[in-house]
Structure 1
């Protein structure tokens, strides 16, 4: 079995999460409130997001959000890599 590079896997997870966050920002910027609600209602299997969609997100809050998403994604990816590597039997 191959060992995973923990830092690279963490980076991949963090970057993927950040791209998803950026995609959400693009949907909100281009679709407007009704389009955003429709998009997320269909994405979440009909869950009504009308009361939780907030369109007046300050830019600094969005930047903090993308950084936090990257950090959480990195930690999740690093944990998965570490747990995976811990299960591999090392031949000595």
Structure 2
């Protein structure tokens, strides 16, 4: 089995998370409050998101959210790759 490059998988996961975050921003900007609520209610299997949807998110807060999402995604991807690689070492012994 091949080893997974930790930094590359981390970057891929971080970038994917940031793109999903940007997708949420696009939904909020184009669908309005009711459309956003409908979208996330259907996405979350009928969970009522009415009380947690906030449409007045400042630009600086959204930018920090993208950065935080990238960092968390990078860490998750790096950990998955590291755990996978460690498991490969243990199987060969």
Query: Is TM (by shorter chain) over 0.5?
Result: yes
Matched ranges for 1:1-92 at <5 A: 1-89=1-89
Structure with more helix by fraction: 2
CA distance in 2, matches of 1:24, 1:47: 17
- CA drift of 1:39 comes to 0.2
TM-score by length of 2: 0.96
What number of residue pairs does the alignment pair up?
92
CA distance in 1, matches of 2:4, 2:48: 39
Gaps of 5+ in 2: none
TM-score by length of 1: 0.97
CA distance in 1, matches of 2:10, 2:39: 29
Gaps of 5+ in 1: none
